[in-house]
Amino acid sequence: MRRYLLLLFMTLPVLASSSLLAQESENEFDWAYFRSVVEYASENHLYADRADADEAYVGAAEEALRVIPEITLLLHRDYAEEFKTKAPALTGTTIEINPRSSYILFQLDSNGQRQLLNPERTVRNGKKTAGRGELKTPLKYWKKSGFTEADLRIVIDFIEKRQPDSSQRLLFSALNGYLKAYDPHSWMLDKSTFMAASDGKVGLGLLIGKEAATGNVVIVNIIPGSPAMQMGLQHRDTILAVDGRPVFGLTIPEVVEVLRGKLNSTANITVERNQQRLSFQIQRTDIPLPVVESRMLSDGIGIIHLRTFLWAQDADRPTNAFRRELAALQARGMRTLILDLRGNQGGDMGESMEFAALFLKERQTVIRIMRPEEEPARRSIRYGGVPESLPVVVLIDFRSYGGAEIVASALQTHDRALILGERSSGGGSLQSVRPLGSLLIKLTTARFVTARGGSIHLFGVEPDIAVSMEQDGSFPSRFREVNLWNHIPPLQKDNPRPERTAQMQELNVRVQPALKELEPSLKKRILRGDRVDLQLERSLVIVREYAKRKE
């Protein structure tokens, strides 16, 4: 039976740590090692036959080319002219590395690189032109001729002649390029990066991801109180460059490495926001990430904000920290609990299951884990801890992911909590992390469904009552799992339960007059310059009515 180090959900945070490529051996990155990773992925990924070989080797070559300082594109010969028509402003030089091959390289000159990073380039005469994600050769061209390891070797040889001391970084990049043909969560990591990602510290305070339609690196989440938030970075900002280095086409671990640096050093972050180019000078600071925060509100309502299910071996587990905060609020007379999972990006799968079980009865299923038959999912968890008589409301938003979605879906499935906010991210896959030599491979090896058998992957957890965080009460498009490139396919989601749906619709109708009455006071506070959590304030109206019904 195969063994894995850890099952987890993860969007890799930007951390202050050692170099990504601090390896134990200078000779570890060779072609034999590359093939061993390819073989391991093909045998252990949940969808072992999902990666198209042509696409995987093309991805490996494209990522390897990022090692060259100049932006260099891999283009199929039959696509080259179409590319020049789609993006005439991207000027550069054609490089022939093998006249008999089906591909060429196109290296952008200084003007082409400036145009690539110019957000106004994407809009011309009111029409959108080729974006950064449209520069890749469509896969249909590679299907005609194929792209194999032999072609990758030619590209690698070309790069090594340009960058003679880059062998380790080349193969690391090539491996990550190959793995992304499986799904956006399968990566190679070095051990220091993984341990740093679990130690509760942040450098800039960003969580980043790749957008499916464009390939852009976007800010998925910002840690409250972090340097990034203090300096004005925002969710959905597109990161263009760091310290003048373009990040177009880099893998997420590579972007993390570019963003990280020495403690108290300064990073110059260039982003695109609403077709404007903005620059921010942000100091990298090693700050503690509070896992749990709590406070008492009026009417006996207590709120506990749980930020993550990640925890280090020498740190307190989130579940234990929650127990202490819960006891403290109960001692102060709490009669209704709000569990705030907004912005919670998940973490350790086992920890999130243990946490959900606090609210459930013995033998109630938290989730069902789907994995190869030879690896049955067995986990002993302890149920109970939160009094059954305590009304519970869970707040979620588009950033609630993985472990947070396990908790929200379990409590909703078993009618243990009212779910408010907006649809969650929709991450229903599990990743295993296993050492391969001095590196770690993070590979999607399982997925989960609710106790009723439905999937939340791509769909997310739908709140019982939608509550907006916007001033105008709208629900704009958000960055979720479905926006990631090459995500694994969805399964069937749970069907609505008519009885619960009717109850929630009736509750929603009941609170509408009070919600309308609340809006003028919220607007006054905003005009006064107050920082107002609109989603929470609106939710409190519903929570109070819900608590009355539970008395």
Over pLDDT 70: what percentage of the chain?
84
- HSE of 493, CA atoms in CB hemisphere, 13 A: 15
Averaged over 161-171, what is the pLDDT?
A: 79
| Vertex 404 angle, CA 233 and 401, to 5° | 50
Report yes or no on 466 lying in a domain. Answer: yes
Q: What pLDDT is recorded for position 540?
A: 98
Percent of the chain with pLDDT over 90: 44
Q: Is residue 423 predicted with pLDDT exceeding 90?
A: yes
Within this chain, do residues 375 and 424 fall inside the same structural domain, yes or no?
A: yes
CATH code of 300's domain? 3.90.226.10
Tokens of 489: 């396919």
C-alpha separations of 114 from 66, 80, 84, 244, 526 in Å: 17, 20, 16, 11, 39
Q: Are residues 343 and 469 in the same domain?
A: yes
Helix (H) or strand (E) holding 548: helix 534-550
Q: How far is 429 from 474, CA to CA, in rounded Å?
A: 29
Confidence tier at 166 by pLDDT (50, 70, 90) = confident
**Bridge partners for 279 per DSSP:** 270
The pLDDT, as a whole number, for residue 6 is 39
DSSP states along 291-337: SEEEEE-STTEEEEEE--B---TTS--HHHHHHHHHHHHHHTT--EE
Burial of 335 (0-12, 13-18, 19+ CB in 10 A): middle
Answer with the one of 258, 287, 316 that is the final residue of a domain: 287
Among the residue ranges 22-26, 57-61, 518-522, the one predicted with the least confidence is: 22-26
pLDDT higher at 18 or 279: 279
Residue 403 to residues 25, 177, 276, 384, 461: CA-CA distances in angstroms?
A: 35, 27, 35, 18, 12
Question: Which of 15-24, 292-301, 442-451 shows the lowest mean pLDDT across its residues?
Answer: 15-24
Query: Any idea which of 210-224, 393-407, 469-483, 497-511 has the lowest mean pLDDT?
Result: 210-224
pLDDT in tens, 132-157: 445 678 878 888 778 999 999 999 99
Does residue 483 have a pLDDT over 80? yes
* Claim to verify: residue 325 and residue 234 sit in the same structural domain: no
Distance CA(463)–CA(3), nearest Å, equals 36
Which residue did the predictor score with more confidence, 380 or 466?
Answer: 466
For the chain, the average pLDDT equals 82
Domain end among 447, 464, 495: 495
Alpha-helix residue ranges (DSSP H) falling in 45-138: 53-64, 77-86, 110-116
Are 353 and 282 in the same domain? no
Rounded to whole angstroms, the Cα distance separating 174 from 63 reads 6
Are 274 and 320 members of one domain? no
What are residue 222's phi and psi, to 5 degrees? -130, 130
Residues 241, 326 within the same domain: no
DSSP assigned state of 461: P
Name the residue range of residue 259's domain: 201-287
Predicted confidence (pLDDT) per residue in 325-357, tens digit? 999 999 999 999 999 999 888 888 889 999 999
243 shares its domain with 347: no
| Encoded tokens for 186 | 């399968």
How much of the chain is helix, strand and coil, in % rounded to 5?
A: 35, 20, 45
Query: Which of 257, 287, 317 is the C-terminal boundary of a domain?
Result: 287
pLDDT value at residue 168: 77
With 0-12 / 13-18 / 19 or more C-beta atoms within 10 angstroms meaning exposed / middle / buried, residue 314 is exposed
Helix (H) or strand (E) holding 252, with range, is: helix 252-259
Query: What confidence score (pLDDT) does residue 197 get?
Result: 45
Judge if 343 and 461 occupy the same domain.
yes
Give the tens place of pLDDT for each residue, 302-316: 999 998 887 765 567
Evaluate whether residue 117 is within a structural domain: no
**Are 298 and 263 within one domain?**
no
Report the domain count for the chain: 2
Q: Does 498 score more than 90 pLDDT? A: yes
Distance CA 112, CA 87 (A): 10
CATH of the domain at 228: 2.30.42.10
CA-CA distance, 418 to 430, in Å (whole number)? 26
Q: Is there a single domain that holds both residue 326 and residue 466?
A: yes
